[in-house]
């Protein structure tokens, strides 16, 4: 046997052993009959994963993403918390994994879709949800390939019943503070079930004398994780967890709304010296008509503020700073400071503000 033939046999045995190890690592799932092998193409072509490729678009999400996946170490609830199993890729891309060409140099380029390096013992992967989209430049915004479809009005329907006044606990950055029995605030369950005080957000740094902790965390959060969906849609209630397309639709670019632009940055839901007890929809007047989160308008018209913050209401709310006071202040200093931070407060008050106190 020549030396060249011996090396060739050695390489073949090595590749066969590697292929065997790859396919034995996890239990195999049945291969869909319609799957065909992807054409060879260049290695570089397979170093980027695209949900939008024709072949990938023809698959249902759960042909690759199994629900749940790899959640135990990362979440306290079952979730799709990791990349699909090797089998999801190998069943169509065997050639990209196991040809001799793929084994030379830096290893199969297709591995670098998920793995930081293409090496048999290299398990380090990119963060799930942010695979290596091959040489793409880092983007300033969190762009995604799928939208989130959420019928806000339907969810409001099922949870929007009124139970009246209940005792609640105020959440502050000092911890929980129980309210006294005679100090009860209404619990507007219909919104607070999903939107709680956002403890990660402190928009305005307050001056030392203002020690109201509620002002440090003025806004409400939005649901971020699958937990908020799966608690009702894990199974049986459609769309169920395994039906990814029930909530996510492919999009060229989708930038999730991670926070609203705050116009009245100094407003605090829990502030108002404890007097902000109106129901959420009393001020967010357009929110109940929103059938989707796109174009959802949580805007609060100044008229809602004027219901209390105007001179004619001073007998009811003697301590309230009024819109008229702020308009006068603007004439003197060129800035409205009670509700607005400087970015908004230095602009001329819109006509709606004058109209609201007429």
Partner 1 sequence: MKRFAFALIFFLFPFSFFLVAQSTQFGVVRLKVRYKSSEGTKDLPRKRFFLIKGSIDQNRALIEKIKQTSLASLECYYRSHGASEALIKWLKDNDCESVYCREIEDKYLSGAEAVPEFQKAFEQALNELKNREVARRWLTNYLAPEIRSGFYDEKQKMIQALLSGPEASTKAKVMSIMTDRKGTGYLTNIEPGTYTISNVVASETDKTSIVWICEREVKATDLGTAMKRPMMLSNEADPKVKCEVVERPLAACN
Is 106 a residue that touches partner 1 (CB under 8 A)?
no
> Is 229 a binder of partner 1 (CB under 8 A)?
no
> 216 with 267: CB under 8 angstroms?
no
269 part of the interface to partner 1, by CB under 8 A = no
Query: Are the C-beta atoms of 118 and 124 separated by less than 8 Å?
Result: no
What tokens does 265 get? 């940055």
SS3 178: strand
Nearer to partner 1, 37 or 157 (CB): 157
Query: What DSSP element (H or E) covers 175?
Result: strand 175-178
Query: Which of 36, 42, 137, 236 forms a contact with partner 1 (CB under 8 A)?
Result: 236
Choose between 60 and 231: whose C-beta lies nearer to partner 1.
231
- The conformational region for residue 173 under phi > 0 = left, psi -120 to 50 = alpha, else beta, is alpha
Pairwise CA distance, residues 266 & 216, whole Å: 9
What CA–CA distance (Å, rounded) separates 356 from 307? 9
Asked if 157 is part of the footprint of partner 1 (rule: CB under 8 A), the reply reads yes
DSSP state of 236: S
CB nearer partner 1, residue 142 or residue 275: 275
Residues 191-210 that bind partner 1 (CB under 8 A): 193
Instruction: For residue 178, list its beta bridge partners.
Output: 169
DSSP 250-268: EEEEE----S---SSTT--
Contact indicator for 246, 238 with CB cutoff of 8 Å = yes
Measured from the CB atom, the residue of 31 and 289 that comes closer to partner 1 is 289
Among 232, 245, 277, 342, binds partner 1 (CB under 8 A): 232
Considering the rule CB under 8 A, would residue 190 count as an interface residue with partner 1?
Answer: yes
CB of 317 to partner 1, least distance (A): 17
Part in contact with partner 1 (CB under 8 A); list of ranges 53-61, 152-160, 175-183, 246-254: 152-160
The encoded tokens of residue 258 equal 């991670």
Rounded to a whole number of angstroms, the minimum distance from the CB of residue 290 to partner 1 is 10
Instruction: Tokens for 176, please give them.
Output: 């929980």
Does 282 sit near partner 1 (CB under 8 A)? yes
Choices 52-60, 160-168, 216-224, 264-272; region in contact with partner 1 by CB under 8 A: 160-168
Binding mask 288-307 for partner 1 (x = CB under 8 A): xx-x---------x-x----
Which tokens is 336 given? 């409205």
Residue 155 CB, shortest distance to partner 1, in Å, is 8
Residue with tokens 């919104």: 191
Q: How many residues bind partner 1 (CB under 8 A)?
A: 39
Q: Which residues bind partner 1 (CB under 8 A)?
A: 76-78, 153-154, 156-163, 186, 189-190, 193, 227, 230-237, 279, 281-282, 285-286, 288-289, 291, 301, 303, 355-356, 358
């Amino acid at each position: 046997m020549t030396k060249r033939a011996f090396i060739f046999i050695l390489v073949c045995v090595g590749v066969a052993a590697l292929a065997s190890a790859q396919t034995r690592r996890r239990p195999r799932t049945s291969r869909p009959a319609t799957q065909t092998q992807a054409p060879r193409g260049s290695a570089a072509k397979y170093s980027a994963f695209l949900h939008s490729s024709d072949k990938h678009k023809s698959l249902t999400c759960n042909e690759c993403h199994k629900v749940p996946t790899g959640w135990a170490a990362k979440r306290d609830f079952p979730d799709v918390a990791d990349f699909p199993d090797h089998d999801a890729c190998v069943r169509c891309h065997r050639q990209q994994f196991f040809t001799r060409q793929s084994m030379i140099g830096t290893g199969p380029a297709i591995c670098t879709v998920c793995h930081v390096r293409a090496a048999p013992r290299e398990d380090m992967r990119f963060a799930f949800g942010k695979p290596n989209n091959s040489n793409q430049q880092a983007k300033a915004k969190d762009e995604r390939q799928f939208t989130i479809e959420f019928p806000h009005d339907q969810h409001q329907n099922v949870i929007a019943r009124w139970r009246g006044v209940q005792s609640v606990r105020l959440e502050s950055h000092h911890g929980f503070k129980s309210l006294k029995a005679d100090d009860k605030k209404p619990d507007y369950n219909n919104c607070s079930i999903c939107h709680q005080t956002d403890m990660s957000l402190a928009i305005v740094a307050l001056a030392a004398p203002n020690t109201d902790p509620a002002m440090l965390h003025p806004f409400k959060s939005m649901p971020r994780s699958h937990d908020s969906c799966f608690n009702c849609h894990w199974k049986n209630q459609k769309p169920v967890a395994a039906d990814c397309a029930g909530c996510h639709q492919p999009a060229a670019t989708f930038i999730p709304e991670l926070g609203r632009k705050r116009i009245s940055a100094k407003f605090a839901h829990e502030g108002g010296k404890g007097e902000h007890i109106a129901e959420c929809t009393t001020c967010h007047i357009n929110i109940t008509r929103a059938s989707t989160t796109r174009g959802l308008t949580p805007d609060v018209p100044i008229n809602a503020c004027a219901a209390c913050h105007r001179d004619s209401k001073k007998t009811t709310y003697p301590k309230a700073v009024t819109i008229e006071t702020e308009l006068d202040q603007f004439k003197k200093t060129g800035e409205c400071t009670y509700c607005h931070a400087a970015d908004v407060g230095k602009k001329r008050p819109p006509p709606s503000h004058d109209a609201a106190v007429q």
